[in-house]
């Protein structure tokens, strides 16, 4: 089945959603998109994004979501590195890209205007449905990173044809456990689809749900209103949305009947135990948290009961998931002893990094993989994630890579050294802090923020900036970020 789609004022039947996906797949094939190729999608939440997600199941290509906040240089890197053959982009976003789109990339423009041959709706209406040989169903190709400054494309390896049905059934079971998606459910997505988890949730919901409500953008009260109006059963939220929902006045909360909700799925960002407890007290025992990554898939599940008994944990392994916590010298860590978390989720096909075999090799241990998170297992097998081996920051559910920001910041005249890292934030989980070396105070905090804002997406602008004469360094010559962060924590405490 294909879900009915509701997005803003638009309402589209499951048959219409399926027909548009077939037409897009047919048009992509005529553009020369072949099995295993990549198309790029730079769109806000909307029906065209749904077309792209569903068409890749037919056309056999990956779709590479591009954060629509990105600036031209960031977009150009992703288009070139992914070798995208087609870019589907909104008109106002395309206008900001300049010459970032490589030659040879076909461009389809949402809201370009009916007189523009590149207008997506006009073009789609002229396409015949795909009728070629069956291709390998594929999904998104997320970009993720650690300390290298440039993100890496995560490519999910296709299972052999004889295992395809078995793996698809395994994925459906995994999504039932971790996200509450079952056939005929009424689901809602509130988060941006350029993130891995919401787009994966959406793909499964399109294929299994009776109805999918896609919010163009998150609004706390509207979330409650849509749940009440459409009797939503399963909804995807992230912790920062919990915070904003909890800030609604009691009289606003009381206006809406949300008793239809039986499962709230959340992943991608740590949730403060007190925030989760407040949501459980309000919504009831429907709040679930999954520890996951683009590379490994969904690893653990913390259900409402364990959230009350094990605050701060991310739960126990899902089904046959294996977890090993390993010390720096390769020793298996004991109960409560932190180490690098390695996992294997057998329901998810293995992955590689696009154009970066060396990075994949470093991420492996036997048949397990790590994204550099540090954590420990308690005596009952519950996983706790306490830090990251890499410098990646998760702020409001968004992955941010400090090295990428540092590479820009160091070009600001008057800056001789810099460090960007994450610090605790009551609303966002983490926020960015920059410590900038500028002897004699040649630059100000405001200048630093303005400089980054000109060249990068707004969420990459550090919330806090400290200007100093010099930065401390470790024995290996690297900036001592841990010492800087610990110093800030002590001062703020």
In the DSSP assignment, the letter for residue 332 is B
Whether pLDDT at 145 is above 70:
no
Residues 24 and 52: beta-carbon distance below 8 Å: yes
For residue 318 the two structure tokens come to 């899902």
Handedness of CA 102, 103, 108, 113 (dihedral sign): positive
197 token code pair: 């988890």
CA 331 to chain centre: 31
Cα-to-chain-centroid distance, residue 482: 26
Which has more pLDDT, 160 or 257? 257
Six-digit token pair at 219? 């609004």
Q: Domains in the chain, start-ordered, CATH in brackets? A: 4-141 (3.40.50.980), 393-492 (3.30.300.30)
Check: CB of residue 436 under 8 Å from CB of residue 443.
yes
Task: Give CA separation, 313 vs 241, 289, 317, 374, 414, in Å.
Answer: 20, 9, 12, 13, 44
Question: Residues 384-439: pLDDT tens digits?
Answer: 987 666 677 888 888 787 878 888 898 898 998 899 999 998 888 899 999 999 99
Q: Is the pLDDT of residue 147 over 50?
A: no
- In this predicted model, which residue has the larger pLDDT, 243 or 447? 447
Distance CA 233, CA 186 (A): 5
In this predicted model, what pLDDT tens digit does every residue of 285-305 receive, in sequence order? 999 999 999 999 999 999 999
Reported as a pLDDT band with limits 50, 70 and 90, residue 452 is: very high
Residue 471: Cβ within 10 Å count: 17
Q: Tell me how far apart the alpha carbons of residues 298 and 170 are, in angstroms, rounded to a whole number.
A: 12
Question: Contact, 246 vs 279, CB < 8 A?
Answer: yes
Contact 410, 425 (CB under 8 A): no
Edge-first strand listing for the sheet containing 152-156: 143-144, 152-156, 351-353
């Amino acid at each position: 089945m294909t879900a009915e789609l509701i997005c803003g004022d638009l309402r589209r039947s499951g048959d219409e959603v399926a027909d548009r996906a077939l037409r897009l797949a047919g048009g992509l094939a005529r553009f020369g998109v072949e099995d295993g190729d990549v198309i790029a999608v730079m769109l806000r939440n909307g029906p065209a994004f749904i077309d792209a997600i569903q068409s890749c199941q037919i056309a056999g290509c990956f779709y590479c979501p591009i954060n629509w906040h990105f600036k031209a240089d960031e977009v150009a890197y992703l288009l070139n590195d992914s070798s995208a053959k087609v870019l589907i982009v909104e008109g106002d976003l395309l206008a900001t890209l300049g010459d970032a789109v490589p030659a040879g990339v076909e461009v389809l423009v949402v809201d370009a205007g009916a007189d523009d041959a590149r207008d997506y709706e006009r073009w789609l209406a002229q396409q015949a449905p795909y009728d070629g040989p069956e291709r390998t169903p594929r999904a998104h190709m997320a970009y993720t990173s650690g300390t290298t400054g440039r993100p890496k494309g995560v490519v999910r390896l296709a299972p052999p044809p004889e295992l395809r049905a078995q793996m698809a059934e395994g994925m459906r079971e995994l999504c039932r456990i971790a996200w509450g998606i079952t056939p005929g459910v009424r689901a809602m997505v509130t988060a941006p689809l350029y993130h891995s988890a919401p787009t994966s949730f959406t793909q499964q919901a399109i294929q299994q749900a009776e109805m999918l409500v896609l919010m163009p953008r998150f609004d706390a009260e509207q979330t409650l209103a849509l749940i009440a109006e459409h009797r939503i059963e399963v909804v995807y939220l992230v912790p920062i949305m919990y915070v904003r929902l909890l800030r609604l006045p009691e009289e606003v909360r009381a206006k809406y009947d949300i008793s239809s909700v039986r499962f709230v799925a959340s992943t991608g960002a740590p949730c403060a135990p007190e925030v989760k407890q407040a949501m459980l007290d309000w919504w009831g025992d429907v709040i679930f948290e999954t520890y996951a990554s683009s590379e490994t898939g969904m690893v653990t599940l913390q259900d409402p009961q364990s959230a009350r008994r094990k605050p701060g944990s991310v739960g126990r392994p899902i089904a046959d998931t294996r977890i090993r916590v390993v010390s720096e010298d390769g020793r298996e860590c004991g109960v409560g002893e932190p180490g690098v978390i390695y996992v294997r989720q057998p329901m998810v096909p293995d992955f590689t990094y696009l154009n970066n075999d060396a990075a994949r090799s470093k991420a492996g241990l036997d048949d397990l993989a790590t994204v550099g998170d540090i954590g420990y297992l308690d005596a009952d097998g519950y996983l706790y994630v306490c830090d990251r081996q890499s410098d990646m920051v998760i702020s409001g559910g968004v992955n941010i890579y400090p090295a990428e920001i540092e590479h820009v910041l160091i070009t600001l005249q008057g800056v001789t050294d810099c460090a960007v890292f994450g610090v605790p934030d009551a609303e966002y989980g983490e926020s960015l802090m920059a410590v900038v070396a500028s002897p004699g105070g040649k630059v100000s905090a405001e200048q630093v923020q303005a400089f980054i804002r000109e060249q990068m997406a707004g969420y990459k602008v550090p919330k806090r900036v400290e200007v100093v004469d010099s930065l401390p360094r470790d024995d290996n010559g690297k900036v001592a970020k841990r010492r800087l962060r610990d110093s800030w924590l002590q001062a703020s405490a």
